[in-house]
Structure 1
Amino acid sequence: MQIQMYFQAMFASAQTPVAPPIAKPISWRLFASVVVMAAALCGCQLRADDIHSSPSVLPVTTVSVTSPTTVILPDSLALTPVPDLPQVPDTLRRAIRRLHAALGPAAADLRPTVLEQACVGYLTLHPTGRIERAGLLAVADMDLPNTAKRLWVLDLRKARVLHHSLVAHGEGSGQLRATRFSNQEKSACTSLGFYRTAGTYDGIHGYSRRIEGLDKGQNSNAFDRYVVLHAADYASPKYIEQHGHLGYSRGCPALPPEQFKEIIATVRVGSMLLISGPGLASRWLDGQAAGRRFLARGWE
């Protein structure tokens, strides 16, 4: 009814005393506004697949229907700032900067503050025995869009990038970028925090590796949720070419079919994985403990 009244008012405004009523042409902007208003009134929702039918179209997250010049806002590409961790000694902070520089072009998109999170967590966790693999860590920056290679596997002692790949996030976490995270069963969300890699098995996704969440309240249900490292066709460059974005898992950090075997083999049992993103909080981000460990043993 509101749409009908809107058109009646618009056509009435086009009448003049000396000529038959003629409707003014509807501009594409006005037409788009009306369509959006109709969708809102009918309670319609667009599916993610409909939104991404063209690689040039970004997912819709916010629609304003408060004015005729309705603006449809795309999924933002503006990253969430990651603050420096408190109480990290200058000696360690300088060492992390040197490491980042030595990693070279493959780590150009690895934000120094996210690398700092991973290094501090590794140095804090390793002495506790919760991770056994020395000198190796994997870090995924889930704040980056899923079209970016946002997973790195690093050799700390040799300052080398061993693997750099795409990685998918859970369908409950967002569209182009992950913005929601959960530890709950059936949330289909990615869970932030530190993980220990566990054993491999052959499951519905083929060769896979289990991971154990080490942050109570953030990822401690990952093992029971069967959040695992596995291959997925929707986590491949080819999928991006076809759809303009990666597909979504049920919370697993799914890997490209071309790289998953090598990555899973490298992060063997007892390795550390950090899944970083907005809102990450962990007891293992202990700058003082990490600084003491680094002074005593370096990256060992």
Structure 2
Amino acid sequence: MALALGGCQVRADEARSLPSALQKALVAVPAREDTASIPSASAAPVPDSLALTPVPAVPEVPDTLRQAIRRLHTALGPAAADLRPEVLEQACVGYLTLHPTGRIERAGLLAVADMDLPNTSRRLWVLDLRQAKVVHHSLVAHGEGSGRLRATRFSNLEKSACTSLGFYRTADTYDGIHGYSRRIEGLDKGQNANAYDRYVVLHAADYASPKYIAQHGRLGYSRGCPALPPEQFKAIIASVRVGSMLLISGPGLASRWLDGRAAGRRFLARGWD
């Protein structure tokens, strides 16, 4: 009962919509400070911008694996056009490093969200690595404490209302205040290890929909959960069943699982299995 009541709370912020910024090349809109949900140590607000943060290449990835990831990106087709190759590389390296440790059990499937993209973009992908296929492609909301149109702050702290970067293992489903939801467990100490205790889960939200964008010029905000469109959430949650890997990527991502050498060895031995 405590879990159902303590889950990710909706803060749609409906009183404020992005003014004419989207129509005028997204003129800078300062992020609102909220001392109740943003840690005092967080950085100064950063204006919204369409200039994405460069993603560094994962070090020590063998050429064989790097070329395989490039081929995968091409094979995924138009649905993955906005999935940056560098973010796909992070996801694939993490998957190959994590899978043999037993921390994730489901082979051949991963989910990746690029939270550096504006929240008006479909920035979540569920990928079938064996078939080189995009299984799902959808909008996903970030936490209220992380920023407005784009997420610029990330935190693992309780009550931060922020999105947490890093690799996750999907856990069980339950019916909570948002209906059908799936728990996720953070696998990166210091970045997302508090996700389970913060009740950061996959769930549906009406503020994570194309209709909301049409009305407000951007998505609404969660309390840190990767909230999904009502039209797609059931299929997405069902597809990332227990033991699947989710990467939430964004500026400043650092993870022990971004081990290029270990990923290369695993790929040579087993491919995507």
Higher share of residues assigned helix: 1
1:52 aligns with 2:18: yes
1:254 aligns with 2:227: yes
Give per-residue Cα distances to partners, 1:176-219, cap 9 Å, x unaligned. Answer: 00000000000000000000000000000000000000000000
- 1:56: Cα distance to partner? 3.8
- 1:74: Cα distance to partner? 5.5
Give per-residue Cα distances to partners, 1:228-251, cap 9 Å, x unaligned. Answer: 000000000000000000000000
Residue equivalent to 1:152:
125
Give per-residue Cα distances to partners, 1:153-179, cap 9 Å, x unaligned. Answer: 000000000000000000000000000
Please give the secondary structure, in 1, of the residue aligned with 2:16: helix
1:1-300 paired onto structure 2 within 5 Å: 49-52=15-18, 56=23, 58=26, 60-61=29-30, 75-300=48-273
Q: CA RMSD in A?
A: 1.6
8 Å contact kept, 1:146–1:167: yes
- 1:53: Cα distance to partner? 5.4
Amino acid paired to 1:132: E
8 Å contact kept, 1:51–1:60: no
8 Å contact kept, 1:56–1:244: no
- 1:83: Cα distance to partner? 1.2
Task: Indicate how the Cα distance of structure 1 residues 158 and 112 shifts in structure 2: closer, same or farther if over 3 A, else same.
Answer: same
Residue equivalent to 2:42:
none
| Structure of higher CA gyration radius | 1
Q: How many residues align?
A: 244
TM-score normalized by the length of structure 2: 0.87
Q: For 2:15 and 2:227, locate their aligned partners in 1 and report how far apart those are by CA, in whole Å.
A: 19
Q: For 1:218 and 1:237, locate their aligned partners in 2 and report how far apart those are by CA, in whole Å.
A: 30
8 Å contact kept, 1:137–1:155: yes
- 1:80: Cα distance to partner? 0.2
Q: For 1:53 and 1:279, locate their aligned partners in 2 and report how far apart those are by CA, in whole Å.
A: 29
Please give the secondary structure, in 1, of the residue aligned with 2:67: helix
TM-score normalized by the length of structure 1: 0.79
Q: For 2:268 and 2:19, locate their aligned partners in 1 and report how far apart those are by CA, in whole Å.
A: 53
8 Å contact kept, 1:48–1:175: no
Q: Which runs of 4+ in 1 moved over 6 A?
A: none
Please give the secondary structure, in 2, of the residue aligned with 1:140: strand
Please give the secondary structure, in 2, of the residue aligned with 1:240: helix
Listed as ranges, the gaps of 5+ residues in structure 1 are: 1-46, 63-72
Q: For 1:50 and 1:291, locate their aligned partners in 2 and report how far apart those are by CA, in whole Å.
A: 47
- The percentage of counterpart residues that share the same residue type is 85
Residue equivalent to 1:34:
none
Listed as ranges, the gaps of 5+ residues in structure 2 are: 1-12, 32-45
